[in-house]
Structure 1
Amino acid sequence: MSLVVYLAAFVFGMTPVLLFRRPRRALRNPLTVSTCAAIVLGALVFVCAAPATLATVNELTGVPNFGAPLTYSVLCAYSCAVLVLLINWRGGSRELVRRRVLRTVTAYGLLMTAIVVLFLLAEADTERLRDLDTYYANTPFMREMILLYLLGHSAAMLVMCAVCVKWGREVGGPLRTGLRLILVGALLDLVGFQVAKYTAIVARWNGHDLDFLSTTLAPPMASLAALLCSAGYLLPSVAAQRRAWTDHRRLAPLWSLVRSVSTAPKPPTAWWELPRARLQWREVSIHDALLALAPYFDHTVRERARDAALRAGRSPHGARLTAEAAMVADAARRAAAGEEPPESAGTYRLHATEVLGTGGLVELAQALHRSSAPDATPDGAVPSPLPGTLTEPEEPHVA
């Protein structure tokens, strides 16, 4: 059984690696820190609850069942970390988040202190590695300690369920899917783990033996619930990294055109650098290049390309993208050739610089990709599309 628990702890605990590859940068993000803390503490619960770990802790301390309050305290810390994660995930003003986190940490800190005090007051000299909850269900102070840790964990799971249900109605996409996974995990924890424990303990109070619910059913249900919650925590971040990788790849046509103009310093990166970091650098570099090309923007090229696109039946938004792509390509050609800025040059703000995020740049890059010739001709003709590509512009991209 210990081997299975350790394996679950390893799988559970390795998931933060995707979020914590750059420790200095990650420590500045409360959401990343709270996510990793919740997952690591969840893995630590499994490690502490393994019979082999309990026996080792009892032997090292010389106190029978000392592993019990240790495990229960770690479980309370995990419950606290889950609530802190939800608080940071939900967001709000910095002062409001800080106040809620402080209240949560204080409440569970007091709970952990009470668990240790109750254990010290109890008489639990018989070592129990698998059935301590039911064996000591009628023992003074041990009974209260067991109920206290269960109630503390139940409160955290109930709050998690309520938040996931309420917040799930307000969001969509990967975040909603992540919340649903967390909700399923929390419900499985409530029903499969906690209800099983409560039932077995109440049965002991009434002279019945349903210990198998606590010793056989509850542990695997808790493991499965924790893994589902872990997947729910990580899914939005993994989805964001996937979107960043896609946007980074779709920006390639625009980056190939303007990279020689950009003066943004390239930070040292490794092959394992996360996509969001790579995308952020490419976005900054492209904006820097577009700023350098602004004096070469020929409005005659843009206007002619726009009029030709409108006559071809494209939407106003699609025609604007096509025209701006032609103007940027013409500006890049002029800058590379060392020509003087055109007489019709003037101030103009690209659509890509008017919208937040990477969506506008991606649209501009795809407009360039759809052109058979990256360099627009000076007369403003609209380049014909590449074979096999769509002739209509894509819908506006939202990063």
Structure 2
Amino acid sequence: MSLVVYVAAALLALAAVVIYRRPAAGTGARSPLTVSTAVAIALAALVFVCSAPVTLAVVNGVTGIPNFGAPLTYGLLSAYSCSLLILLIHWRGGPPERMRRTVRRSVTAYAALIVAIVVLFVLADSDTERLADLDTYYATTPLMREMIVLYLLGHTVATVVMCVLCLKWQREVTGLLRTGLRLIMASSVLDLLGFQLTKYTAVAARWAGGDLDFLSTGVAPPLAALAALLSSAGFTLPRLLPPLRAHWRCLGDHRRLRPLWSRVGFVSTAPKPPSGWWQSPRQRLHWREVAIHDALLALAPYFDDGVREHARDIAARAGRPPHQARMAGEAEMLVDAARRAAAREQPLDPPSTYRLHATEVSDSSGLVELAHALRHSAVATAAREGTVRTSHGLNHG
């Protein structure tokens, strides 16, 4: 069982670190939602670490108090339950004063619960160390019995509140947020039925003189781990997936701009940024865009409108739509300008006043289109082989 909970704890800790290391966009600061998400997931990881029999044995041995790990684990579980409510409060949003008031009430209620758990443990008679079956072993012991029921009830209240709120909110949202809420709903139901119900059943069986301890020791822990992982996925996916998608798009655009960069990069004078693995895909893409635009500006004096129009007309006669024909013409003109610049020929006089499509759009889509035209346009391919340039030269000859 220790291995299962340690693996779950490691995954949760990793999710908490990833969430916390992502400050609010453009501010460098971490929002209350980011902090509360990271804290809730980190507390879940701590709960799993502390509930492992190996950890319990170490804690009990270090403190010299039999079963000291029990109130520690139950207190952390109660703090985790409270953190889930706080996270939901920040996720839902609303007037700041109302949010602060609700947070204070939640903290006060669960702080009182944690104090009650500790007091009951101190007053109870629990001298026999139990590492895996404390809930059922002490289910009929005065004060320990109450402590066990209290921590279960505190966790149940938080879970039920989560179910109700998620069920209500998922009707009001769409997309990734709805997916996240559904994952949280699934985790809450699994927690209620897989962890809490089995714990209640095993404890009640002891009260009735029976023995269903396997539910508490064998069934509840892995289901609780699965529920916590689902819950973490529900909270993190809506926050992490959009930037991950953006990073992936930046990587794709950076790769798609390679043909254009390889063609015009030799004339760019844009200063190179410090290289390193820590540069984000967005930073790499931004520098390549700046460098390409700088190169296009340097090649503008070599733009030949006749080359562009000739290539555009060929593409149009081949059945290309107007925009694709325009891009094919621009690609051929750019190939010709790069050739002239590489050969150190004189710029055209008078220079062309034509404006590339890539300079008319604010994002990288125009450059990507131009790079695509350079790579896939039949006209640009012919230009690279010299056929179009030759025929154009004959037409002007």
TM-score, normalised on structure 1? Answer: 0.70
> Residues of 1 paired with 2:253 and 2:220: CA distance?
44
Specify the SS of the correspondent of 1:5: helix
What residue is the counterpart of 2:355 in the other structure? 348
Q: Deviations over 1:329-360 (max 9, x none)?
A: 4444444436425535226252465154x443
Larger radius of gyration: 2
Distance 1:117 1:16, change over 3 A: closer
In 1, the alpha carbon distance for the partners of 2:320 and 2:277 equals 40
Tell me what 2:372 maps to. 366
- Tell me if structure 1 keeps the 8 A contact 2:302–2:340: yes
Q: Does structure 2 retain, via aligned residues, the 8 Å contact 1:196–1:214?
A: yes
CA deviation string 1:200-234 (max 9, x = no partner): 45656666654433322121012223334555635
Hey, what does 2:118 align to over in structure 1? 120
SS in 1 for 2:266: coil
* Amino-acid identity (%): 52
Cα distance in 1 between the residues matched to 2:91 and 2:273: 29
Residue 53 of structure 1 and its aligned partner are, at CA, apart by 1.7
Structure 2 residue 268 is the aligned partner of structure 1 residue 254: no
Shift of residue 47 of structure 1?
Answer: 0.7
Corresponding residue number in structure 1 for 2:315: 309
Report SS of the residue matched to 1:354: coil
2:152 is aligned with what amino acid?
I
Corresponding letter in the other structure for 1:262:
S
Q: Which residue of 2 aligns with 1:110?
A: 108
CA distance in 1, matches of 2:64, 2:44: 26
Q: 1:343 to 1:197 in 2, by over 3 A?
A: farther
Give the structure 2 partner of residue 42 of structure 1: 44
Given that 2:110 and 2:154 are in contact with CA atoms closer than 8 Å, whether structure 1 keeps it comes out as: no
Residue in 2 aligned with 1:189? 191
Q: How far off its partner does 1:50 sit?
A: 0.9
SS state at 1:115 partner? helix
- Pairs within 5 Å for 1:1-399: 1-14=1-14, 28=29, 30=31, 37=39, 39-62=41-64, 64-75=66-77, 78=80, 106=104, 108-122=106-120, 123-126=123-126, 127-134=129-136, 135-136=138-139, 139-140=145-146, 142-156=148-162, 159-160=165-166, 163=169, 167=173, 170-171=174-175, 184-201=186-203, 209-230=211-232, 233=236, 236=241, 238-271=244-277, 274-294=280-300, 296-336=302-342, 337=344, 339-340=346-347, 343=350, 345-346=352-353, 348=355, 350-351=357-358, 353-356=360-363, 358-371=364-377, 373=380
Whole-angstrom distance in 2 between the partners of 1:296 and 1:106: 68
Q: Deviations over 1:7-49 (max 9, x none)?
A: 3323443456777889999964658766655544433221121
**Structure 1 unpaired stretches of 5+:** 384-399
Q: Give the secondary-structure state (helix, strand or coil) at the position aligned to 1:259.
A: helix
Partner of 1:387: none
Displacement after TM superposition at 1:250 (Å): 1.8
**1:366, 1:88 → 2: CA distance?**
44
* Alpha-carbon shift at residue 184 of structure 1 (Å): 4.4
Task: Decide whether the 8 Å contact of 1:161 with 1:186 is kept in 2.
Answer: no
- Higher fraction of helix: 2
* 1-structure distance, mates of 2:333, 2:256: 19
Q: Is the 8 A contact 2:133 2:216 kept in 1?
A: yes
Q: CA deviation at 1:285?
A: 3.3
Deviates more, 1:37-46 or 1:196-205: 196-205
> Are 1:329 and 1:375, in contact at CA under 8 Å, matched by a contact in 2?
no
Could you tell me how far apart the structure 2 residues matched to 1:179 and 1:295 are?
56
Measured in 1, the distance between the counterparts of 2:290 and 2:90 equals 27
> Which segments of 5 or more consecutive residues in structure 2 lack a partner in the other structure?
391-397
Change (3 A) 1:381 1:271: same
Q: Using a 3 Å threshold, how does the CA distance of structure 1 residues 335 and 11 change in structure 2: closer, same or farther?
A: same
| 1:397 matched residue in structure 2 | none
Whichever residue aligns with residue 188 of structure 1, its letter is L
Q: Are the aligned partners of 2:139 and 2:203 in contact in 1 as well (CA < 8 Å)?
A: no
Q: Distance in 1 between matches of 2:227 and 2:114?
A: 26
**What is the CA–CA distance in structure 1 between the aligned matches of 2:212 and 2:232, rounded to whole Å?**
30
CA drift at 1:316: 2.9
CA contact (8 A) 1:297 1:345 kept: yes
Decide whether the 8 Å contact of 2:85 with 2:158 is kept in 1: no
Return closer, same or farther for 1:59/1:362 CA change in 2, 3 Å cut-off.
Answer: same
Secondary structure at 2:219 match in 1: helix
